[in-house]
Structure 1
């Protein structure tokens, strides 16, 4: 009897030890991701300021720096950090779908995470219209996957938790991180790992909070729609933003899969000259816009929402073009912040037709509409915009605009950009 109890206690101790080991992995991962996200955010702000200082001193410097920077970035990506191109979210999604651990490691690893950070900063340093949030997702997934190697059991939720924590820490939006993990990364709610995912997101968020304090990404915006006519802006923004977002996604997917004919073959055979050409086009967009479209677009949108600083009438158009060229060039960089900036430009233009409505409210509708049109994740879209602007009075309008934009986007692009690109990565790395 004593031997039976002793064996039972030993089994219980082993189960308890494994139980706590599993939770410790997620907590340690959350802390590491939060610190990495804050470091990337601070470095991104610094390199953007340096580029702005350069073009302020000589505005045509972008015609040299941006194309050369794009070419160098693509060379380094293809030579040393393969699979770090683009936003990084498709790679994280593909890694989750793959069963082979070695194949996963080629999409999410510490080497790729280091390259992702360095090359994202290089892109912003040379004026790319790119964001740091998508890269933070791949970095988060890579960190959790690497930490998981210390576990005797491979944890199926590690990549998902890392990706969700990346969104939460990058934007200081814990709820959006959880929703993103459910809606976009997994397209399903996994009861087995949901608690640990939430714990990782909270840990990453608390780490970010401890390092940089509590803040709303785009500041606080109390704007809201007032009379009945103002509410007509919801379908207008939803349709316009959704169609534009769908067009962006369609272009990115078509180029990624390869354009038909000799042009497509030439782009595939000459990635560095193509990146150089894309960089030159971004520089031309920057000059035409009065140097307004470089970087994430964060400063312009925050100024428009918080202090009412008007956006140029052509801001949305040139930001759309610059983000498209930056994305298809093959350099590492995200599309979250640039998409929100494009949407802000769309909303600012539509606001002229609704003179009685607060301009910042229409800008918010444009942001959520275009973003939902690009990612085709409507719940994530309105949650993330709500959290980033600390505006709960606009929840219902944002929700409606997001759903309308999602439907409009699918008329142009039947599949979401992240999952469409993830299929390519998964197919290229699945065992044959």
Structure 2
């Protein structure tokens, strides 16, 4: 007869093994969701603070923003190296590295903490940045911290953790679970066969549940009932796709150029005096903010929602001004994403297209299509772009027009910028002799 103590031992060992296999997929997603919600609340409060300062002291940004940009760049470089920029390139690079560099230089709990702190600081100062890209790096960092616990060893497990964390970050930030999964497939795992179906899904669902329970079931840009049928809207789809794709491609090209180093004296200035360069970028954003009555500050959420709900709500120059403010904020070397600002730029361009061609399609439909097109042009991720727009505006009835527009935009973007933005930036984070991150 079998020894009961032996049976209990086997049961206990089995339970421990099961716990070691599953705890990362239970605890880590909850932590990702909590941090994403905290960043959302912090970003909203920072935006309110910036709006209050702007309203009370209209010219304060001219003094505040250069100093704030320089301070944020200094803190990032000295205390939280690896936290600069969007955070998505870091997650992509960490997916691809082997032993050439330490993944901890791209993803760590220290970096995640710095990303939260400095993103909120940037929004408080008025930088044209978003919290969505940072949430990807934060989510990937939290999940990556569980590597080596129990059976979570090896390259495949490491990539799976990063993949799931990045997907959960997008899903929790935008409240778009489908877009989170598509982002993992289209961007983070573009160089690998996607094998993390169940683990990614569990992570997205659990982190999304935290976000839903604390923030409620909301749509990022509200809802829109606008429709577009194929017979009357085919030309609008083509026009919006090309306009948004070319604009997004131009932004990507300028971003890649600035990250590679500016030519001549400007390049030497940026390399030798990075904090003075950050201050110069802050002054440029401040001047744009003063000239536009503060419209270009922050994520651009409110102007975007405004133009989706009513035509003529934005000045004609909003799209161009937001484009420049986002470019300078990103080039300054401070933490902050480009997803939400890109959607705001797309809304401004869409408003321009609708004003120039009012008979082509309803105003809201044109704005919605160009938003998806511009984001697809910037990221070169058309499937993620149209799904994000569909989920963020509850416009499932616009599925096919959004899909077609995003695909056209991605193709148009290649005419301006041949290499994808995030993957090119990720490649620049690896040693020169490393071919781990390959171009599309």
**What is the CA distance between 1:311 and its match in structure 2?**
1.7
Describe the SS at the equivalent of 1:39: helix
- Superimposed CA distance per residue, residues 402-426 of structure 1 (whole angstroms, 9 cap, x where no aligned partner): 0011001111111111110001112
Task: Kindly report which structure 2 residues correspond to 1:289-328, keeping only aligned pairs within 5 A, or say none.
Answer: 289-306=292-309, 310-328=313-331
Query: For residue 438 of structure 2, what is the aligned residue in structure 1?
Result: none
1:171 to 161, 169, 174: 174
Q: 1:413 aligns with which of 408, 417, 431?
A: 417
The count of residues paired between Structure 1 and Structure 2 equals 427
| Paired position in structure 2 for 1:366 | 370
| Residue in 2 that maps onto 1:77 | 76
In structure 2, relative to structure 1, the CA distance for the partners of 1:219 and 1:77 (3 Å cut) is: same
Matched, 1:350 2:353: yes
Q: TM-score, normalised by structure 1?
A: 0.94
2:164 to 161, 182, 193: 161
- Segments of 4+ in structure 1 off by > 4 A? 12-17, 188-191, 428-431
SS in 1 for 2:220: coil
Q: How does 1:17-28 map to 2 (within 5 A)?
A: 17-28=16-27
DSSP-derived class of the 2:129 partner: coil
Secondary structure at the residue paired with 1:29? helix
8 Å contact kept, 1:103–1:429: no
Provide the secondary structure at the position in 2 that maps to 1:203. Answer: helix
Matches within 5 A, 1:130-169: 130-154=129-153, 155-156=157-158, 157-169=160-172
Displacement of 1:260 after TM fit? Answer: 2.8
Against the structure 1 CA distance between its residues 221 and 268, is the aligned structure 2 distance closer, same or farther, given a 3 Å change threshold? same
More displaced stretch, 357-366 vs 325-334: 357-366
1:329 aligns with 332
Q: Which one of the candidate residues 261, 266, 280 is aligned to 1:263?
A: 266
In terms of mean alpha carbon deviation, does 81-90 or 350-359 score higher?
350-359
Query: Shift of the alpha carbon at 1:355?
Result: 2.5
Q: 1:130 touches 1:327 (CA, 8 Å); kept in 2? A: yes
- Matches of 1:346 and 1:88 in 2, distance apart? 26
Give the 3-state SS of the residue equivalent to 2:112 in structure 1: helix
In structure 2, what is the Cα distance between the partners aligned to 1:111 and 1:105? 9
CA–CA distance in structure 2, aligned partners of residues 57 and 13 of structure 1: 64
Partner of 1:403: 407
Equivalence for 1:97: 96
CA distance in 1, matches of 2:321, 2:32: 33
Q: What residue is the counterpart of 2:427 in the other structure?
A: 423
Give 1:266 deviation, angstroms: 1.9
**Selected match of 1:237 from 236, 240, 244:** 240
Query: What is the CA RMSD across the aligned residues, in angstroms?
Result: 2.3
Q: Give 1:37's aligned residue.
A: 36
* Alignment partner of 2:389 out of 385, 388, 393: 385
* Structure 2: distance between partners of 1:194 and 1:307: 40
After TM superposition, the score normalised by the length of structure 2 is 0.92
- Deviation digits for residues 97-128 of structure 1, max 9, x if unmatched? 11249710111101100111111111101110
Partner of 2:105: 106
Q: Give, in whole Å, the separation in 1 of the partners of 2:63 and 2:421.
A: 31
**Post-superposition shift, 1:309?**
6.6
The 5 A counterparts of 1:40-55 are 40-55=39-54
Q: Which residue matches 1:116?
A: 115
Superposed CA offset, 1:178-212 (max 9, x none): 00001011116745422101100111101100111
Residue 59 (structure 2) aligns with: 60
Report the Cα offset of residue 307 of structure 1.
5.2
User: Residues 308 and 347 of structure 2 are in contact (CA less than 8 Å); yes or no, is this contact kept in structure 1?
Assistant: no
Q: Which runs of no fewer than 5 residues in structure 2 stay unpaired?
A: 436-440
- When residues 126 and 428 of structure 1 are mapped into structure 2, their CA distance, relative to the original with a 3 A threshold, is farther
Q: What is residue 223 of structure 1 aligned with on the other side? A: 226
Taking a change above 3 Å as real, the CA distance of residues 167 and 43 of structure 1, as seen in their structure-2 partners, is: same
Q: Could you say which residue in structure 1 is the equivalent of 2:252?
A: 249
User: Where does residue 280 of structure 1 map in the other structure?
Assistant: 283
In structure 2, distance between residues paired with 1:325 and 1:384: 25
Determine if contact 1:23/1:196 at 8 Å carries over to the other structure.
no
Q: Do the aligned partners of residues 306 and 17 (structure 1) sit closer, same or farther apart at CA in structure 2, a change above 3 Å counting?
A: farther
8 Å Cα contact 2:185/2:194 also seen in 1: no
The 2-side partners of 1:231 and 1:373 are apart by 19
